[in-house]
């Protein structure tokens, strides 16, 4: 579904991605793990067109998407739950959810999907009219995921959804990711919480200073000694 080939990204003089190759097959959960500053967020931001690569190719459903504006890429079915959630604090919960469906015209479908998001996250329904900025961190994360789902994406990318959440909530978030995946969603997940991510992932990539240094099935990577040392505190 998504093919990334030899991706190079620069921030001014910083060579942030130094030839990233990656494949996300349809219907799978793929995770990208790595230390802080390795280039995980940059990879996702480049896929959504927020950052322009210097070279390399990105193909989504067989179509090249490098160079397209973000709004076109989102319309083709890619969505990103950005790092730090980035809900719109000055908008109500419902408005945030509605914004996720900004490009859609099917009113009835939007209404149904709002109900679906509320079923997924009942706490959001209770807080429908609250400003998003007044939500707790966990609720904001739910809102960010719900908002992303409203675009009816084919590929859902999440940038560290568990960051800064209490352990109990982290488990909630991973359960939700699993649940959404079971509904047929393809997922590309970035995590620092490598153990939890690899456990639910079909496939994993380990990225270090802008390069993929290791890849394999999720179940294999969890067992991998080097990974255990570097990321799993083993």
Ligand X SMILES: Nc1ncnc2c1ncn2[C@@H]1O[C@H](COP(=O)(O)OP(=O)(O)O)[C@@H](O)[C@H]1O
Alpha-carbon radius of gyration of the chain: 17
> Which range of residues in 86-94, 165-173, 195-203, 214-222 is near other proteins by CB under 8 A?
86-94
> Which range of residues in 18-26, 69-77, 180-188, 193-201 is near other proteins by CB under 8 A?
69-77
Distance CA 52, CA 49 (A): 6
Applying CB under 5 A, the site for Mg ion has a residue count of 2
Angle at 69 between CA 205 and CA 14, to 5 degrees: 50
Task: Give the footprint of Mg ion on residues 72-131 (CB under 5 A).
Answer: 83
Our finding on whether 53 is near other proteins (CB under 8 A) is no
Distance CA 42, CA 109 (A): 33
Which residues fall within 8 angstroms of residue 111, CB to CB, at 6 or more apart?
none
Sites of contact with ligand X (CB under 6 A): 11, 14, 16, 34, 36-42
| Of 41 and 193, CB closest to Mg ion | 41
Distance CA 120, CA 216 (A): 31
Binding mask 11-50 for Mg ion (x = CB under 5 A): ------------------------------x---------
What six digits make up the tokens of 229?
Answer: 């040392």
| Of 59 and 83, CB closest to Mg ion | 83
| Of 81 and 165, CB closest to other proteins | 81
What six digits make up the tokens of 116?
Answer: 């679906």
Our finding on whether 151 is near Mg ion (CB under 5 A) is no
């Amino acid at each position: 579904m998504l093919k990334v080939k030899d991706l190079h990204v620069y921030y001014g003089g910083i060579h942030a991605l130094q030839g990233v190759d990656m494949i996300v097959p349809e219907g799978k959960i793929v995770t990208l793990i790595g230390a802080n500053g390795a280039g995980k967020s940059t990879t996702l931001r480049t896929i959504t067109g927020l950052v322009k690569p210097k070279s390399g190719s990105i193909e989504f459903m067989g179509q090249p998407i490098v160079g397209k504006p973000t709004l076109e890429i989102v319309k083709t079915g890619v969505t990103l739950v950005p790092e730090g959630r980035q809900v719109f604090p000055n908008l109500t919960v419902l408005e945030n959810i509605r914004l996720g469906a900004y490009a859609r015209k099917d009113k009835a479908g939007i209404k149904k999907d709002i109900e679906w998001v509320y079923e997924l996250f009942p706490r959001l329904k209770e807080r429908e009219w609250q400003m998003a900025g007044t939500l707790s961190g966990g609720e904001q994360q739910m809102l960010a995921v719900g908002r992303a789902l409203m675009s009816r994406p084919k590929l859902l990318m999440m940038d560290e959804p568990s960051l800064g959440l209490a352990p109990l909530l982290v488990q909630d978030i991973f359960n939700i990711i699993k649940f959404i995946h079971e509904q047929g969603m393809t997922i590309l997940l970035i995590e620092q919480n490598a153990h939890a991510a690899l456990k639910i992932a079909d496939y994993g990539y380990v990225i270090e200073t802008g390069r993929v240094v290791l890849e394999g099935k999720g179940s294999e990577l969890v067992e991998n000694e080097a990974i255990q040392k570097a990321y799993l505190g083993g």
